[in-house]
Amino acid sequence: MIITRSDRSALFTAYNLARAAARKAGDLKKIERLNKALGIMQSKAYYEKERAEYQPTQTTCNCKDWHFNYARKRAYSGPCKHMLSEALALNVQVSRQVYNVTQWTEVQQWQTS
């Protein structure tokens, strides 16, 4: 999903909510990955390249970071930056749909009044 200018507000809202939850939980590694996921979402070329190469979903990814997810030496067992970018994209898409429905019902109410 490519983030348009009108989606930036929803993207940063989703990012801030996820970052606040990670900060509250004390998960510094997840905050680092959220920062990288935000960078991925803001770069069209980088996002398309990474998405084509690793084919991430919210639950799996083909990158090395996710491949070694449960390695004994690794201090973090949460989602990789690609999976987090997919979660942010889904959140933006949902907020876009809610906005469109709200806008449509407001127009319908105005026309019937």
Query: Does any domain span residue 101?
Result: yes
* Distance in Å from the first CA to the final CA of the chain: 37
Residue 2 is assigned to a structural domain of this protein: no
What pLDDT, on a 0 to 100 scale, did the predictor assign at position 110? 53
Average pLDDT, stretch 20-34?
A: 91
**pTM listed for this prediction:** 0.72
Alpha-carbon span 79 to 110, nearest angstrom: 44
* Residue 66 within a domain: yes
Both tokens of 26, joined, read: 């004390």
User: What is the pLDDT at residue 52?
Assistant: 87
Does residue 93 form part of some domain?
Answer: yes
In a domain, 55, yes or no: yes
Give the domain range for residue 19: 7-112
The answer to whether residue 24 sits within a structural domain is yes
Q: How far apart are CA 48 and CA 41, in angstroms?
A: 9
Q: Is residue 1 part of a domain?
A: no
